[in-house]
Amino acid sequence: MVIDSHVHVGRNESRWETVRPLLEAVGIDTAVLSADPEAYDLRGDRSLGGDLARSGGPFGLWYVGGDPFGGYRLVDPLLPPSLDDYDGVDWHCWFSDAHDYGSSDEVAIAEARDLLDSLDARRALEGLEAILAAGLPIRLTESLPFTLALIKRFPAGTFIIPHMGLRNGGVSRVLNALAADPRVYFDTSVVEPNEGMVGTVGWERVLLGSDAPSGDPARAARDVRSLNLPAEQIAAILGENAQRVFGRD
């Protein structure tokens, strides 16, 4: 099964009924679905992944955070009535004001640690604890300081870093910082993966992703299939790794 592990859908825009044929046309069988942070009705769309999830796919993520482009954050409810309805959580810029393409520094990293120890962060951290206690993986989009601090704080968690780290602090910085942590996976959405990226973290921890509908599923699938890697490693990136991460072996 070929799985696009990074697809956004909405109830009114980018409906799954519209996006699914685009994936199937390029040999993608199913997808991991979450709300689009730029959607007109982000609040109404955040639970859609769970509503659409089925045992044979698609997979559904609950959406936490906000729109880093519009500058607003979804506060309530932090968690859905039942985490059992979801295959994971899309945690998107709850602590960070915007995407981080590499501007953070050591001072920011220290400040992030201090903020996570503040009373203001307590509710969000309790939410993360509940998510991880339910055994759900978290697709994490935060600035590099918060990305590193949260992964360190929750040593039993499973995390997926989207875009090979592009928006979590830059590809090279993120891959180098987290290459040795087997709990952390990476999806290929937006970036053009190469053998060096895959080799840095290991093919077992890379997932096909397109960021559809803004991203191009055809290009995403073609980029992975074109990697100069053994066929079994390509197959793992195209779907087997996602099946393992989301508990559908």
The DSSP H or E segment spanning 224 is helix 217-225
Instruction: Measure CA of the first residue to CA of the last residue in the chain; give whole Å.
Output: 11
CA atoms within 13 A on the CB side of 232: 1
How do the domains of the chain map onto residue ranges? 3-245
The arithmetic mean of pLDDT across residues 82-103, rounded, is: 92
At residue 166's C-alpha, the angle toward residues 162 and 169, to 5°, is 110
Residue percentage of the chain with pLDDT more than 70: 96
Q: Which CATH number fits domain 3-245: 3.20.20.100, 3.20.20.140, 3.40.50.1240, 3.10.290.10?
A: 3.20.20.140
pLDDT for position 136: 97
Question: Could you count the other beta carbons within 10 Å of the beta carbon of residue 115?
Answer: 14
pLDDT for position 151: 96
pLDDT for position 56: 83
pLDDT for position 68: 66
pLDDT for position 196: 97
pLDDT for position 249: 47
The arithmetic mean of pLDDT across residues 199-208, rounded, is: 98
The 10s digit of each residue's pLDDT in 185-200 is: 999 999 999 999 999 9
Categorize the per-residue pLDDT at 174 as very low, low, confident or very high, splitting at 50, 70 and 90. very high
Alpha-carbon gap, residue 113 to 152, rounded angstroms = 10
Residue 55 vs residue 8, higher pLDDT: 8
pLDDT at 59 over 80: yes
The arithmetic mean of pLDDT across residues 69-88, rounded, is: 85
CA atoms within 13 A on the CB side of 226: 9
From 19-28, 48-57, 104-113, 228-237, the region with the lowest mean pLDDT? 104-113
From 19-33, 99-113, 186-200, 223-237, the region with the lowest mean pLDDT? 99-113
Measured CA distances, 215 to 8, 11, 128, 134, 211 (Å): 10, 19, 28, 30, 5
pLDDT for position 2: 98
DSSP for 91-150 reads EESSS-SS-BSS---HHHHHHHHHHHTSGGGHHHHHHHHHHHHTT--EEEE--HHHHHHH
- Length of the chain equals 249
The arithmetic mean of pLDDT across residues 122-129, rounded, is: 92
> Structure pTM?
0.95
Distance of CA 244 to the CA centre of its chain: 15
pLDDT for position 70: 66
pLDDT for position 107: 66
- Name the β-bridge partners of 160: 139, 185
pLDDT at 152 over 60: yes
Categorize the per-residue pLDDT at 111 as very low, low, confident or very high, splitting at 50, 70 and 90. confident
Measured CA distances, 114 to 108, 110, 152, 242 (Å): 10, 6, 14, 34
The DSSP H or E segment spanning 65 is strand 59-67
Residue 239 vs residue 107, higher pLDDT: 239
